[in-house]
């Protein structure tokens, strides 16, 4: 009214007050109902404007109506002017106070840019405003239409501007707020940021956000798994269910890296009973507790049976298979750590060879429908005892497959899985967090990598395609040079790597984390292979192949296994090596402490004859 009349004489007009008082009470009531007075001012967001607008509209409209009914003489422009002023003061005062509350913490926050100006980026921005760790200074986005705009008060730049922002603002961290990002695009982004030496963090993946396992606000360092992993191929649901749904399934080595993930994938396909067979009490307890919680949300009727036992214990295994009438066995129990098995040859053979023989025999005798062996790329032309034992385990399954019994035997061969026990990635991570050095065995060593969930899912689908004696090979993608992986992991932590000749050599002026080469370990190969021959064939799944490889009959194989058992009982390491060399394994060990040079010259065991068998055709 003062703006309209340029005077305050209207205050003496009695007719002016009733419509103003009633409209004011109505507006306050609307504000109360909309929760305006229950909002903590320091945490208000743009959403509060909707509540303010509703209250202001209630005030302005009611003032117009009451003024018309009571003929109070209030000009028609006054409700409009008043509404605008209310919007400005009620909303503006709250955002001003919020700014005051937030401002003192800015000095201790790290400046960051948010990569991705979409909805996840905006939600992350709001979370960061309330936190005490990071101060967002800008968005960067690949979308040319967004570049140059301002979103929530922050400018949007091209990713090419990041080096300039780092120089001008002291930028320390880049936050990836793109949960739908493919692994390939994630690698491209990281490659473009490598030269900036900025720390890169990311929000969880879309699947974790949707499932409730993680929130957008839960930032973490970009991991090697994010860069090495691949975008999943949609699984064939029919293959996933075929050997599992409504069946009794046993997993040996259920507490291991692969075994536990197999159990998770199997549970999601609703078996009748899932039998967990594991030698480690703690590992068995951990996976049983996890699966029991999962079952509550998936299907409480699924029976989960935890059994302690060794695959070498025939009586324990037989009791388990017969008591629960097992229909499918996934045999994942094995000693897999190459240097450890090199130091513990007899135990490695007992577990990997005789354990597999025991499970396979009992599976056939008790008419288990499907038996799937989890093998390894180290079984191909092995240079280690571990690789040799896994190739013998394959020969055992191929031999049983030739008997044409009710059990379908198959094996799935693949390389390293990301994050498994003994994997190089957790070791590198702990070395980096300890300040280095990061130790790589050889400058040129490389490995295939696959995520554990993808490997387990492909194993299940491969097993469902088996006809008998099949050697399935998973498409592992491209091999990764381990030295490059070490460099990438150091840079992911926002640190600078440099190479040294000795682990104790530290040169701070060269960088933050030294990387040195320690030499190949016992039984370790520079390059891993997945095929013995060169003729893989495709299957109905794009990432599963099958191979035709040499096999032995049971009549040929069992006498050799008996000789190997006798040598193990006598701890005759010379004879053990002799048998491994004579078997059709292409076993070619390097220098080993087990045999000295003069001892190797004494080995004269002739190679064991075997008949080629095309396992893929079941012949």
**Which DSSP letter does residue 595 get?**
B
Which neighbouring-strand residues pair with 201?
Answer: 175, 221
DSSP 592: B
Q: Using an 8 Å Cβ cutoff, are 398 and 551 in contact?
A: yes
CA-CA distance, 324 to 250, in Å (whole number)? Answer: 9
CB atoms within 10 A of CB 254: 29
CB 448 within 8 A of CB 477: yes
SS3 assignment for 121-136? HHHHHHHHHHCCCEEE
Is-contact 218 135, C-beta < 8 A? no
Query: What are the CA-CA distances from residue 273 to residues 55, 249, 288, 303, 329 (Å)?
Result: 60, 6, 13, 5, 12
Which listed residue (201, 378, 390, 525) is catalytic?
378
Active-site residue flag, 609: no
Between CA 390 and CA 376 the distance in angstroms is 7
3-state DSSP assignment of residue 202: strand
The whole-angstrom separation of Cα 529 and Cα 223 is 26
**Strand bridging mode 154-157 / 134-140:** parallel
Rounded Cα distance, 388 and 583, in Å: 9
The residue whose two tokens read 């030496």 is: 197
Q: CA 360 to CA 377: how far, in whole Å?
A: 21
Residues that are catalytic = 378
């Amino acid at each position: 009214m003062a703006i309209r009349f340029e005077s305050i004489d209207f205050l003496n007009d009695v007719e002016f007050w009733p419509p103003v008082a009633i409209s004011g009470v109505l507006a306050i009531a609307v504000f109360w109902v909309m929760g305006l007075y229950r909002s903590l001012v320091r945490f208000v967001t743009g959403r509060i404007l909707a509540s303010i607008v509703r209250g202001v509209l209630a005030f302005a409209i009611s003032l117009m109506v009451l003024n018309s009914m009571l003929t109070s003489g209030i000009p028609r422009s006054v409700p409009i002017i008043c509404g605008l002023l209310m919007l400005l003061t009620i909303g503006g005062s709250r955002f001003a106070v919020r700014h005051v509350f937030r401002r003192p913490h800015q000095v201790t926050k790290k400046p960051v840019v948010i990569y991705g100006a979409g909805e996840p980026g905006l939600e992350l921005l709001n979370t960061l405003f309330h936190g005490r760790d990071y101060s967002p200074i800008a968005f960067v986005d690949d979308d040319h239409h967004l570049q140059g705009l301002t979103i929530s008060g922050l400018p949007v730049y091209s990713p090419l501007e990041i080096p300039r922002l780092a120089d001008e603002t002291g930028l320390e961290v880049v936050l990836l707020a793109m949960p739908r990002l493919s692994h390939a695009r994630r690698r491209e982004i990281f490659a473009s940021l490598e030269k900036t030496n900025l720390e890169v963090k990311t929000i969880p993946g879309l699947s974790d956000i949707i499932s409730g396992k993680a929130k957008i606000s839960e930032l973490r360092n970009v991991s090697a798994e994010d860069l090495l992993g691949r975008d999943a191929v949609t699984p064939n649901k029919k293959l996933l269910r075929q050997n599992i749904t409504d069946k009794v399934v046993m997993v040996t080595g259920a507490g291991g890296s692969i075994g536990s993930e197999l159990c998770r994938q199997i549970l999601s396909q609703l078996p009748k009973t899932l039998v967990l067979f594991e030698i480690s009490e703690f590992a068995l307890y951990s996976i049983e507790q996890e699966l029991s919680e999962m079952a509550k949300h998936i299907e409480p009727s699924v029976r989960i049976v935890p059994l302690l036992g060794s695959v070498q214990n025939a009586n324990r295994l037989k009791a388990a298979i017969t008591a629960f009438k097992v229909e499918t066995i996934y045999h994942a129990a094995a000693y897999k750590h190459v240097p450890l098995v090199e130091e513990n040859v007899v135990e490695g053979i007992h577990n990997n060879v005789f354990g597999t023989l025991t499970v396979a025999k009992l599976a056939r005798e008790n008419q288990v429908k499907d038996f799937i062996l989890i093998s390894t790329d180290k079984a191909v032309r092995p240079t280690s005892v571990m690789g040799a034992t896994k190739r013998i385990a394959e020969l055992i399954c191929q031999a049983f497959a030739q008997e044409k019994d009710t059990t379908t035997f198959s094996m799935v061969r693949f390389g390293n899985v990301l994050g498994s026990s003994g994997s190089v990635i957790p070791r590198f991570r702990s070395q980096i967090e300890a300040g280095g050095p990061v130790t790589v065995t050889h400058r040129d060593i490389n490995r295939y990598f696959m995520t554990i969930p993808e490997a387990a899912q492909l194993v299940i689908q491969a097993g469902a395609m088996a006809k008998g004696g099949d050697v399935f090979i998973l498409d592992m993608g491209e091999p990764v040079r381990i030295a490059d992986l070490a460099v990438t992991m150091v840079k992911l932590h926002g640190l600078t790597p440099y190479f040294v000749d000795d682990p104790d050599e530290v040169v701070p002026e060269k960088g933050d984390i030294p990387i040195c080469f320690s030499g190949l370990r016992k039984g370790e190969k520079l390059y891993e292979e997945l095929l013995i021959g060169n003729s893989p064939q495709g299957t109905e799944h794009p990432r599963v192949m099958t191979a035709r490889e040499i096999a032995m009959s049971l009549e040929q194989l069992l006498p050799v296994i008996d000789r190997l058992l006798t040598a193990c009982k006598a701890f005759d390491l010379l004879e053990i090596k002799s048998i491994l060399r004579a078997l059709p394994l292409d076993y070619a060990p390097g220098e080993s402490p087990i045999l000295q040079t003069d001892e190797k010259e004494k080995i004269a065991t002739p190679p064991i004859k075997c008949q080629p068998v095309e396992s893929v055709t079941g012949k």
